Structures are given as structure tokens and as C-alpha cells.
Amino acid sequence: MKNISLSIKITLVFVFVSAVTMFIFYTVFTSLFEKHTLLTEKEKVHLIAETLEPIISMNYYLGLAEETSNLAQRVVEHENVLGGALYIDGELLWQKKYDETMAHFHVDYPVRDALSGDEIGKLHIAYSMAQYNSAVSKMRFTLFNYLGLLSIFFLVFALFVRYLLNPLSVIAHRVKEYRLGDKLEFEDIRMEPETEVISEAFLLMVDNVREYTVLLEQYKLSVDESSIVSKMDPSGTITYVNDEYVRVCGYEREELLGARCDLLSHPEIDKAVFEEIWTTILEKRIWKGILKNKTKSGSDYYVKSTIVPLLDESSDLLELISIQHDITQVYEQSKQILKQTTDENTGLPNRIKLSEDVALQSDLKFGLFSLDNYDVIKNYYGYEAAYDALKQLSENFRRVLEPQGVGVYKLAGGEFGFLAKEGSDLVWFQQICRFAIEDTGNFQLDVEGDTVDLRASIGCTSNKGNYLSYSGLALRHALDSGRSLVYYEDQENLIAQHENNLLWTRKVKSALADDRITLFVQPLVDSRTMQVTKYECLVRLIDEDDKYISPFFFLDVAKKTKLYHLITAQVIGISFEVFSQIEDKDFSINLSAEDILHKETINYLEKKIVEYNIGSRLILEIVESEGIDSYDEITAFISKMKAFGCRIAIDDFGTGYSNFSYLMELKVDYIKIDGSLIKNIDHDRNSQIICSTILNFSSELEMRTVAEFVHNDAVLEYVQDMGFDYLQGFHLGEPVPIRDLLN
């Protein structure tokens, strides 16, 4: 059926439809004609009977039998009436027999009484079908002739259609046989308006095809000249390679054609990559990626590869085309760039990469993470341990933060940068930062068998222009204020605080220069005798207005500068000089971790102890919360000071991380219970329990206990009853200038 031309199909369809139409028309028409002709014939007979019946009836009524018979006889005078009979009152009045073999039909018409109308008989008429048959024959003959003429007309019409469609057939054959480069002409073909449009459309299409083919050839040339091109059949066998392909891989074209497509694949490439490529292609999708290949000589090269599955009209895989670009040089450069922008230890992007990424963002959320005790780890466990801590932390951040869309960068020292993805919510980012701090707090670093807890702080900012400065300020503020997370939002406040720090730094410097650092002493009373037996030295700064300034305002600022150790030296110098003149009183000075770890300070202390020979009266108060990170150094320091006869007190006990075993190791002589546990001890059950426990413990270890912050009689009475050895507080004696003791 496919090979039959359109014109023949149209002709055949036309003939078929015409034949069916004519058959239906003939059948229906003849059927209707026969039916109606027969009906007409019967109506004729009825008309005859209807005409005669009243007369017959009348004559019969009037007893005119002969006239009745004569009248009936007139029925057969009709040329088509073959015969008949008249029955009235059961009596046959008239009859004419006929040849029943002749084609006929008969009608029995009732004869009614002339007066009553009652049926009294019937008039039987046999009517010949000759006229009917003649009419039907004539009709059939006429119809047959008519349909015959119509068939001839249809045939002529079909031939005419074929004649009209013939140019289309010629055009189709010429287009089918057209080959690129041939000349396609339709000028010799008889043209109708429609065929002219079709031929013009074909000519335009051929022109377009020619134009696109030229373009395609040029594209192909461009691709061949600029890319490494190969084609493969669906099984992965190479069927085509361009010159560039041959040049890059070093194989001969003959070696490549028919070879498997993985001929050039580098052995290092994971099998999963090939599985991914084939899965993608078999799903009829384009695969893109970078592949590492090896040349025939064995050298490596990288290609950026695009593998396109070419499909046929049924969407079945026809072949594969691979277009590759040699990116070996770019790849190596990228690796170098990556190296430059990556922290070698952690593998995280470094500050350079951070700057690049920040530059791409319009809405910045940045957090500067600082491992607070990074220096301690580095100093006490060495660089390897510190690097290991950073590496473990970085792996943890990658695992936890990067899935949340937070970029992690390794910055200087123990610092990391957290960069939220564009458009992140600030509150969410701060929660992420808090989580990072908590997670770090839960992180325990195992170094040489020791477990080291990590502490961290984060300064955040949304300021893109000065993100490092502002996050640094926020971080500094966090460290100063003891908060783990500070968001740089109150710029003025931070700046004011920064300026405040500068102011106090200047004041401390000035005070040191003008010898305006002095000491106050607060008495410690023996709880049994209520006699002052010791004094605690407290540093004060005398400002330019001769007012005494509490260390609360300047000591933290001083700690951030080198001035702090100078203050400590002043404390040592003044206290030793004064108490060397007061023989029966012990005294204590406070030392921080910074002091103990500061070699010059310790050397100065040792020198002064020896100089004043005052070690047996000196009590060194170490703040509990500061010593934990420098345990070994503290222990060594204590041992050294005990050799000088000094005693050791743990200050503010109950606020830090100390435990009793720690105290046992340090071999301290006094425990000064923090004022927060004493101030409500007369009515706070928790304070009572804690202090009672500490007292029992210290009693067992033969350590003396000091109750600070005794500020009223109730507290005094309670702590005396509990059994504290010494008492200190405003109720027992306010701090006074040290020089007053000499008076």
C-alpha cells in the first residue's frame, strides 16, 4: 500500500466510494420504486372496485341481478384485470376465471348493503403485474444507464485527478533522487498554483539545506580544528577520530579505529566514573566532565569532555560523539591555584580563597572562629599537636557545617572563617556559629595520652567591606567580655570600647611612669582568735586626680599589653618593701597564669624573695580558673616557690574548673572560697553544702580555708561555726592603703 502513488490511491478511493454509493443508491431506489409502483397498481384496483361497488350494491338492492352481473363484467374490461368474482350473500353472482400462473396479485373489495352499509359480499379482482413488471424493467434500465454514465463520469474525474496530481509525483521523485550538489529544477513540469507553491517550497528547503550543510561543514571544521573529536558506536567502539585526536594521543588513526573507547583512559580513573558515563549515555543524556588520559607514550593529559548520544527518529541510540578539549595546562594551573588557595595542613580553602568568595557575595554573613587555647596547645604540646587539633577541627567543620551551606576557611593560627551562603538568615547563621562553639567545646583532643578540652569564640559581622577587621573586633570583644559569640552590630559600642581600652592603656602607662601604681591591703582574720594574722595585697591605680582606681578597670586592658607584667613587678616590689618592715604579719599577692608563665616576672619574684628574705611570710594566690590550661607550668612554679618557703593559696575557689585531685597535685596551703559561695551562706542551702564539702576535703588534706566576702554578722557567725580557718571581708576590714600599715 505504501508503494502505491497518491493519485492511484485517490482514484481507487474515489472509484470505491462511487461504486458503494451507486450500489446503495441503486438498491434503495429500486426497492422504493418497486414498493411504490406495486402500491400504485393496488390503488388502481381499489379505485376500480371502489367505483363499481356502490353501483353493484345499488343494483343488487334493487334486485337487478343481470345489471349487477353486467356491471361486474365491466371489471374485466380493464386491460390489466385478469379475472374476478362477485360474491353476495354467499352466492356467486359473477365470475371470470384466469390463468393463475400469470404474474398477478388480487384484491378482495367488500360489497356493502346499499342501505345499511353492512358487508354483504366481496368483489374479488385478479390484477396482472405486467404493467408493474414493465415499469420496474423500464426503471431499472433507465437507472442502469444513468449509473453507467455516472461511473464513466467518475472514471473521467479520477483520471483527471491523477492528471492533476502527476506533477506532484514528478516533484516527489526529483526531490527523492536529489543529492547535495545536484541542481534541482522543476521548470519543465506542468504547474498548477498549488504545485508551484510546493516546488518553490522544495527549492527553498534545498537552498536552506545547502546553506546549513555548508555551515555544518564549517562548524565541523571549526570543531575538528579546535577540539579532539571522536565517534563511537553504541558498544563503545571508536568509528571516527579527527586529526587533533590522533595528534594528542599519539596513536595512529588505524590503531584507534575499531579500538575500545577506553583505550586512552588513565589507570587511575575510578571504574565508577565509567559506570557514570555509560549510565548517563544509556539514559540518552549528555555527559560532561574532566577525564585523565594517557598518550601512547604513557604521558598524562587532561581533557574536558562532552559525550553526546546521537539518537535516531525512534530515539534509539545511534552513535556517540565525544568532543574534548585538552586542558592539561589549565588543569595543572588550576591545581597550582588550588594549592595557593588551600591550607596545606587542613585542606581547607585559605584566606585568599575567602577574599575571592567574599568578593562574589553581596549579602555577607561571616564568622571569625578562634580556638582560644590554640597557643597553649602549641606551646605545651608542640606544633604537631596544634596542627593535628586544627586538622581534626577542620574535618569536623567540613562534616557539620558545609552540608548546612557554610563555607569553612582556614585562617591564621587557630582561626577559621565561616562564610554563610548568599541570602542566609543572620539568626540562623548565629545559631550555626553557636553550634560550632558548642561542638568545639565537646571536642576532646587526644595528645600524647592527655585529653585536652578545646574552647572557642566567634566574632561575626555582616560588613563586607571590613569583614576581617570587624569580625576581629567582635572576636576580641567576645574574648574580653567572656562571651563565646559576639556579632559586630553595635559598631559604635565596639569602637567606644576599643577607645576605652586605648585610654586605660595610656593611663596605666602614665601611672607606671609616674609611680602611681600602689597597693591596698585587706586583713585576713583568724576565725578562732579574730585577730588579724595576714593581709591580702590588692593593686590600685592612682589617677591624675589622686583617686584610687580598682583593677577591674585597668587590669584586663593591661593584660593585653606588656604593661601587665610591669604592674605585677610593682606589686611585688611595693608589698615586699612594706612587709619587710612589718615582721609579724604574713601577706599575700595575686598571681595570674600570665604571671606564672612569664619568665621575667618569675625571675623578678625569685630575686625579690631572696633579696628581702621574705619567702616564709609570702602567700601566692593563684586564681583557680586561670591555672587549668597550664597545669604543668603551675605545678612546677609551686614546687619552686615552696622551696623558697612560700605558701600557695587558690583564690576564688569554686568558680573554676578545679577538682580536688587537682588541688592535691598542686599541694596548696590555702583555699580561698569564692565570695559567691559565702555571701548568702547563712541562708543558701546549696552554698552550705558546697562549702561544707570543701571544708571536709581541705581538712583531710590539711589545707587551710579562707572565707571571702564576709559582709555581715550572720555570715560571720555562720562561717565561724562551719570551721573556716580564716575570714576576710568588708565586715572584718576594708582594704586600706598599704602605707597605712607602717603608721
Partner 1 sequence: MIVMKFMLTIFLLMLMHVNAFAYDYDPLLLRAQTTLFPKIVLLDQDVATKTEKNSLKILVLYADDDIKNAELTKKLIEDKYKKNNRNTMSVNLIRYSEFKSSEIATAYFLLKGSDESVKKVSSYAERNNRITFSYDYNDFERNALLSVIMKEKTYIYLNKESFQKYGIKFIPLFYKIVKVIE
- Which residues are near partner 1 by CB under 8 A? 51, 54-55, 58-64, 113-117
What is the radius of gyration, based on Cα positions, of the chain? 61
Min. distance of Cβ 120 from partner 1 in angstroms? 8
3-state secondary structure 253-313: HHHHCCCEHHHHECCCCCHHHHHHHHHHHHCCCCEEEEEEEECCCCCEEEEEEEEEEEECC
Cβ at position 47, least distance to partner 1 in Å: 11
Q: Nearest distance from residue 58's CB to partner 1, in Å?
A: 4
CA distance 262 to 281: 15
Nearer to partner 1, 91 or 268 (CB): 91
Which of 115/359 has CB closer to partner 1?
115
Question: Which residue, 115 or 412, is less far from partner 1 as judged by CB?
Answer: 115
Report the alpha-carbon distance of residue 104 to residue 125 in Å, rounded: 10
Please, what is the minimum distance in Å from the beta carbon of residue 113 to partner 1? 7
Coil/strand/helix, residue 87: strand
Phi-psi region of 535 (alpha: psi -120 to 50; beta: other; left: phi over 0): beta
Which is closer to partner 1, CB of 59 or CB of 322?
59
Distance CA 734, CA 743 (A): 17
Which residue in 587, 677, 576, 573 sits closest to 624, CA to CA?
677
Q: Outline where 62-129 has alpha helix (H).
A: 65-73
Nearer to partner 1, 56 or 432 (CB): 56
- Compute the least distance from the CB of residue 106 to partner 1, in Å: 23
Asked if residue 180 lies in contact with residue 213, where contact means CB atoms within 8 angstroms, the answer is yes
114 versus 223: smaller Cβ distance to partner 1 = 114
469-476, Cβ contacts within 8 angstroms, sequence gap of 24 or more: 471/366, 471/367, 471/368, 472/368, 473/498, 474/368, 475/368, 475/370
- Give the distance from CA 417 to its chain's centroid: 23
Please tell me whether residue 588 adopts helix, strand or coil conformation: strand
Min dist CB 60 to partner 1, Å, is: 7
The residue among 113 and 489 lying less far from partner 1, judged by its C-beta, is 113
In the complex, the smallest distance separating the C-beta of residue 48 from partner 1, rounded to whole angstroms, is 12
Cell of 599: 619568665
- What is the rounded CA–CA span in Å between residue 708 and residue 151? 131
**CB 61 to partner 1: min, Å:** 6
CA-CA-CA-CA torsion for 190, 191, 195, 197, nearest 10 degrees? 140
Q: Which is nearer to partner 1, 94 or 287 (CB)?
A: 94
Rank residues 49 and 486 by Cβ distance to partner 1 and give the closer one: 49
We find the least distance from the C-beta atom of residue 112 to partner 1, in angstroms, to be: 10
Nearer to partner 1, 54 or 110 (CB): 54
Shortest Å distance, C-beta 139 to partner 1: 32
Comparing CB distances to partner 1, the nearer of 118 and 583 is 118
Nearer to partner 1, 54 or 148 (CB): 54
* Strand, helix or coil for residue 345: coil
Exposed, middle or buried by CB within 10 Å (0-12, 13-18, 19+), for 495? exposed
Integer Cα distance of 266 and 292 in angstroms = 6
- Output the smallest distance, CB 115 to partner 1, in A: 5
Least distance to partner 1, CB of residue 57, Å: 8
Distance of CA 439 to the CA centre of its chain: 25
User: Closest CB to partner 1 among 120 and 376?
Assistant: 120
- Taking the complex as a whole, the smallest distance from the CB of residue 89 to partner 1 amounts, in Å, to 8
Long-range contacts of 656-662 (CB under 8 A, 24+ apart): 656/623, 656/624, 656/625, 656/626, 656/627, 656/628, 657/624, 657/625, 657/628, 658/624, 658/627, 658/628, 660/697, 660/701, 662/628, 662/631
Coil vs helix vs strand at 521 = strand
Say if CB 192 and CB 167 are below 8 A apart.
Answer: yes
